[in-house]
A and B are shown apart, each in its own frame.
Chain A
Amino acid sequence: MKRWSRWRELLAGTAGLSVTLGLSFLIAVALILLLSKQPLATIRWFFIGPFTNKYYLGNMLNTAVPLVFTGLGIAVAFKSSVFNLGGEGQVYSGALVTTVICLALPAANGYGGGLASLAGAMACGAVLAGLSGLLKMKWGTDELISTFLISSAVGFIVNYFITGPLDDPANNLLASYAIAPQYFLAGIFPPSRLNVSAGFAVLAAAAVFFLLNYTHTGYEMRMCGLNREFSRYGGINVSAYVVLPLVLSGALHGLAGGLAVLGTQHMAVKDFSFGMGWNGIAVSLIAKNNPLAVVPAAVFFAWLEAGAKAAMLHSDVTFEIAAIVQSVIFYLVTAQALYGALRRRKVRL
């Protein structure tokens, strides 16, 4: 009987999301009818475009990969009720560290060097976010502010390296030297850019799910997230659980940046990761901070992005119109998720 009620609850949650989705699609269609001279083609490219060939499909899924990692990073933090608004800088600097390590190491050792570069990216993200955790633990500095500020500052430092010492004058891009091909992650869906990092993303989601729900650390993290007073009373080291979730969150963000370099970019391109951090927050919200749901949420997000691109290429809509349609769907869905999250919080108060 209890189990039944839990199913019903889940169904009710999904029903709300479905209604919002349906509504937002209707609005999107209405907008397209209003703004496009060839609305049928536009609608087709927008919604089905990403599935029409292997290239589009693979690239769409590849766009989802970093969002899975950043979404997981946010979910870990939110589950412990700490906030990480520094995802942007953590992804970006992770990408830089991976690039630097790959450029510095002799290219002979592909696997070891690749792993080392990813470890570096994770460490970089972990240190940046963990710093905010330590500040909060020592002086009560609000991590909401400090993660964001540190990340913003770091963005400029990364820009300096990409456009300064690491800039490859040969490629006419605001980008670093390219890393050696030995480090490239193997493609799995040619001709698209989808590569083995997609598998890592799914594994990471499973690992975070396991960590949160089946381990001792996850239990303590969740309890701190739900009720810090109770956790302190129960003898949990609550100050550690300000730092640890941020360290994990930062590491996942760093990894997103590192994998994007090894799998897709093959160099550090200026501002390439723009939006990955913020969008991770949206992905996690849509997934209600459930690590397993982060994967479909990231794909959904990537689908909107790919659809907008396809519609731009193949019909008469401009970038702005595509962006507006994309935003309408995105804001409605996020608002729905956010509303649920806020309501839950109110109950807890």
Chain B
Amino acid sequence: MAYLRMRGITKMYPENNVLANAEVDFEVRRNEIHALVGENGAGKSTLMKILYGLERPDRGGIELEGRPVHIGSPLEAGRLGIGMVHQHFRLIPDFTIAENVVLGVEPVRRGLFLDREKAQASVRAVIQEYGFSIDPSLRVRELTVGQMQVVEIIKILYRRAQLLILDEPTSVLTAQQIQKLFLTLRHLRDIGKTVIIITHKLGEVKEISERVTVMRAGRVVAVRDTAEVDERELSRLMVGKAASLQVRREPAARGRAVLELRQVCLLGRGQDHPLLDRVDLTVHAGELVGVAGVGGNGLAELEDVVSGLRRVSSGRILHDGQEITRLDARELRRRGLAYVPADRLHRGSSLTSSVMENMIIASHHRFLRGGVLRRRQAEGFASRLAERFSIEGDPRVPIGTLSGGNIQKVILARELASRTDFILFSEPTWGLDVASSEFIYERIMEIRGQGLAILLLSSNLDEILSLADTLVVMYRGRVVARLANSGAVSKELVGEYMLGLKEDRP
């Protein structure tokens, strides 16, 4: 008998026309550790946000212990015994563990004052009850990442949660910390709690969960007893069959090496594992190099490093054979770097500025006369670009009023307008509808034909497989595979590299 049952959950994000959850049925039994797996954007987080009351479904219902429930807010979820540990901790560093735990449900003295002793005593009681060993009077600032996570778990246990949701709890932990977390989770299961763990690390699924639900593109594609599936099958379920993207890729002549990364390393602050680990990468003129990887494996860092927004810790970056390792974004712009960022709403555009002002950010020097910006010329330039890229709307309106697809087109138009020999794309079609995606693929293929060197970072495998000439896979900050995309490369194979099941030692 199911403890939690979500029925026919459908959720559409109208801003970008994405169906995040489509008729999702999801069941969890009492007293089990249930893994929810899927690629980025498969709809796991949306489903859990709905369960936790952060999002409302368009359709569908939730039953808890056989009774239909309405969960309109995290507060209501808490009352029903549902607690969530977010991927990014929500703790106040200058508060003690006890203060963080009781925040929002503080014991008070004389109706007004925080009763510190009582807070500490009650938190200590919870810590003992569940067999943790941590001193509640410590400040969160002094804790390790693993301990912070324990605090988050204590926080929801303090609120008497029966169902614990953990969103990618292992992404920031070291191997030992992960083992400790798993011990905790097993203990919680043994004393009667139910746990849902979101992850895309298949080894962990096998290790910790009893059952697993696999999501892909907003749908549940499989529910299995973990003992009955192996990692390879899970990987195949997650990535699915290659979708037929209609992109014509003409063979292109490969020219000189335009961009080279040599042994590039990037160390994170306070992390023992490098974010980028001796990455070697070369992009030639007329070549599209596609870098695939699951989120958190170095793609975002690679984007920052190549775009000059983050300095490498060691290694070299060359452009046309010249050293550009220490150049910042401004100097790279002057050399003609074009770059379509993954974060298009904050980095790629200024939402409250007009389309025109967004279009000239990298080229406004061209519209100057004696320090004065020639508005008419700039607007003419913006209108011409808008027309060429069929962007709807007046160039004078704030870009934030456009649809997601049109915003991306503005960014693309701007970046392609700068005369350049190299362009960096990061997640160019993430969250976009099919028509906008196809438009963008066509433009990318067009500039590849013109002999640009293109680096495409994407967690969308179909995209990489249909566009790339050379395919690079990153896992845990390292390049684990480098394949010529001859058409014989299967999605399953790349998926295995992405999920760390396979690795070519260079």
Query: Which A residues form the contact surface with B (CB < 8 A)?
Result: 2, 214-220, 222-223, 226-227, 229-237, 344, 347-348
A236 pairs with B373, CB closer than 8 A: no
Cβ of B372 and Cβ of A234 under 8 Å apart?
Answer: no
By the criterion CB–CB under 8 Å, are A214 and B372 in contact?
A: yes
A-B contact pairs, 21 of them (CB 8 A): A2-B396, A2-B397, A214-B372, A214-B373, A214-B375, A215-B372, A216-B365, A216-B372, A216-B373, A219-B357, A219-B364, A226-B350, A227-B350, A230-B348, A230-B361, A231-B361, A232-B329, A233-B347, A234-B361, A235-B333, A235-B334
Q: Is B339 an interface residue (CB 8 A)?
A: yes
A235/B329 contact (C-beta < 8 A), A226-B350, A348-B351 known:
yes
Query: A219 contacts B373, CB within 8 Å?
Result: yes
**Cα distance A347–B307 when bound, in Å?**
27
**In the assembled complex, which residues on chain B have CB atoms less than 8 Å from the CB atom of A227?**
346, 349-351, 353
Apart from the given pairs A222-B353, A223-B353, A344-B352, 11 other A-B contacts in the complex at a CB distance below 8 Å: A2-B394, A214-B373, A216-B364, A216-B373, A217-B371, A223-B357, A227-B353, A233-B309, A233-B341, A235-B333, A237-B330
CB–CB A223/B361 < 8 A: yes
For residue A219, which residues in chain B have a CB less than 8 angstroms away from its CB? 357, 364, 373
Shortest distance between the CB of B378 and any CB in chain A (Å): 9
> Which 8 A-B residue pairs are closest in the complex by CB-CB distance?
A235-B333, A234-B361, A227-B350, A235-B330, A230-B350, A226-B350, A234-B362, A233-B347
Looking at the assembled complex, report how far the CB atom of B331 sits from the nearest CB atom of chain A, in whole angstroms: 8
Cα separation A214 to B375 with both chains bound (whole Å): 8
* Least CB distance, B353 to chain A, in whole angstroms: 6
- Is B368 an interface residue when CB atoms closer than 8 A count as contact? yes
- Complex Cα distance, B371 from A232, in Å, reads 20
- Closest partner residue, chain A, to B368 (CB atom): A216
Determine if A230 and B371 form an interchain contact, defined as CB atoms under 8 angstroms apart. no
> B341 to chain A: which residues have CB within 8 Å?
233
- Which among B329, B350, B353, B368 has the greatest number of chain A C-beta atoms within 10 A? B350
Interface residues of B in 146-174 (CB under 8 A from A): none
Min distance, Cβ A152 to any Cβ of chain B, angstroms: 26
Say whether A232 contacts B361, CB under 8 Å.
Answer: no
Number of A-B pairs, beta carbon distance below 8 Å: 72
Q: Chain B's nearest CB lies how many Å from the CB of A230?
A: 5
Are A215's CB and B373's CB within 8 A?
A: yes
**Chain B residues in 8 Å Cβ range of A214:** 372-373, 375
In the assembled complex, the Cα of A232 lies from the Cα of B304 at a distance in Å of 12
Asked if residues A216 and B371 are in contact (CB atoms below 8 Å), the reply is: yes
Question: How far is B310's CA from A197's CA once the two chains are assembled, in angstroms?
Answer: 48
Most buried by B among A214, A217, A227, A232: A227
- Contact mask for chain B residues 371-384; partner A; CB cutoff 8 A; 1 contact, 0 none: 11101000000000
Give bound CA distance, A119 to B242, whole Å: 70
- The count of residues in chain B whose C-beta lies closer than 8 Å to any C-beta of chain A is 30
Kindly report which residue of chain B lies nearest to residue A2, judged by CB atoms: B394
For residue B330, which residues in chain A have a CB less than 8 angstroms away from its CB? Answer: 232, 235-237
| B interface list, Cβ under 8 A from A | 307, 309, 329-330, 332-334, 339, 341, 346-353, 357, 361-362, 364-365, 368, 371-373, 375, 394, 396-397
Interchain nearest-CB distance for A13 vs B (Å): 15
Residue on A with the closest CB to B393?
A2
- Among B332, B346, B373, B375, point to the contact of A230 (Cβ < 8 A): B346
A229 touching B346, Cβ below 8 Å:
yes
Smallest beta-carbon distance A211→chain B, Å: 9
Residues of B within 8 A of A2 (CB): 394, 396-397
Decide if B333 touches A234 in the complex (CB within 8 Å): yes
Nearest Cβ distance between residue A344 and chain B, in whole angstroms? 8
By beta carbon, the residue of chain A nearest B307 is A233
CA distance A75 to B312 in the complex (A): 38
Q: How far is the CA of A235 from the CA of B364 in the complex (A)?
A: 10
CB distance from B66 to the nearest CB of A (A): 41
Q: Which residues of B contact A231 (CB under 8 A)?
A: 350, 361
In whole angstroms, how far apart are the Cα atoms of A232 and B361 in the complex?
10
What residue of chain B has the Cβ atom nearest to residue A1's Cβ?
A: B394
Closest Cβ of chain A to B313, distance in Å, is 20
B348–A233 touching, CB < 8 Å: yes
Chain A residues in 8 Å Cβ range of B397: 2
Docked CA distance A219–B364 (Å): 9
**What separation, in Å, do the CA atoms of A232 and B333 have in the docked complex?**
10
A229 touches B396 (CB 8 A): no
In the complex, which residues of chain B have a beta carbon less than 8 angstroms from the beta carbon of A218?
Answer: 373
Minimum distance in angstroms from A318 CB to a CB of chain B: 37
Q: Chain B nearest CB: distance from A26 CB in Å?
A: 34
By the criterion CB–CB under 8 Å, are A230 and B347 in contact? yes
Known: A2-B397, A232-B329, A235-B333. A215 touches B350 (CB 8 A): no
Would you give the shortest CB distance from B368 to chain A, in whole angstroms? 5
Chain B residue numbers with a CB within 8 Å of A220 are 364
Output the nearest chain B residue to A210 by Cβ-Cβ distance.
B372
Closest CB in chain A relative to B358 CB, distance in Å: 8
What is the distance, in angstroms, from B308's C-beta to the closest C-beta of chain A? 9
Residue of B nearest to A349 (CB): B346
B362 contact set on A, CB distance < 8 A: 234-235
Task: Tell me the minimal C-beta distance from B210 to chain A in angstroms.
Answer: 40
- How far is A347 from B341 in the complex, measured between Cα atoms in Å? 21
**CA A348 – CA B373 in complex, angstroms?**
25
Nearest-Cβ distance from residue A340 to partner chain B, whole angstroms: 13
Q: How far is the CA of A107 from the CA of B357 in the complex (A)?
A: 50
Give the docked Cα–Cα distance between A226 and B365 (Å): 19
Query: In the complex, how many angstroms separate the beta carbon of A279 from the nearest chain B beta carbon?
Result: 28
Q: Chain A residues near B350: list those with CB within 8 A.
A: 223, 226-227, 230-231
